[in-house]
Structure 1
Amino acid sequence: MVTKSKKIEPATYEAALQELEQLLVQIESGALPLDQLLTGYQRGAELLAFCRSRLEAVQTQIQVLDANLSQPLGE
């Protein structure tokens, strides 16, 4: 059951993704009252923003690693 929107940031990307998936199941069930549906949607938006932020950070790290690996040895 959806409760008030948690302002707690998930511990990991995987935890956020799991919570988001569970939330989607609840929302898509169509059994939630309107106020809980709105709260769930808001939490989902928070989780999505968290996941996007984590993915962007990892993408940046990969680009840095790729740039370092593409340099000739000894530089």
Structure 2
Amino acid sequence: MAAKKPENLSFDDAMSELEHVVVELESGEIPLEQALKRFERGIALARTTRDKLDQAEQQVKILLSQDDQAALSDFDESTS
């Protein structure tokens, strides 16, 4: 099964795979050529997770800028 493109993964899935890549690379037990491929995948995953965090931060900024005087309240699922 081919790996999904990093940008098509959820944030959590991308982070989980990135953690796995780091463990593989730190083990030092994979051949150089495979290590380079895993490193390349890790870089792509890191960029994807950073982009997703940047998007989430932007959404929070937009929401806060809409009414920065609004009082915080508990989330009520029945009203959404």
| TM tier relative to shorter chain | 0.7 to 0.9
Give 1:34's aligned residue.
Answer: 32
Q: Spell out, residue by residue over 1:12-67, the C-alpha distance to the aligned partner (whole angstroms, 9 max, x if none).
A: 00000000001111100010100010001000000001001100000000000110
State the number of aligned residues: 68
| Higher RCO (CA < 8 A, seq sep 6+) | 1
Cα RMSD, aligned residues only = 1.9
Q: TM-score, normalised by structure 1?
A: 0.81
Give the TM-score of the pair, scaled to structure 2: 0.76
- Percent identity, aligned pairs only? 31
Equivalent residue in structure 2 for 1:22, among 20, 23, 26: 20
State the 1:7 CA deviation.
6.0
Displaced runs of 4 or more, over 3 A = none
1:45 maps to which residue?
A: 43
Aligned counterparts of 1:11 and 1:23: Cα–Cα separation in 2: 15
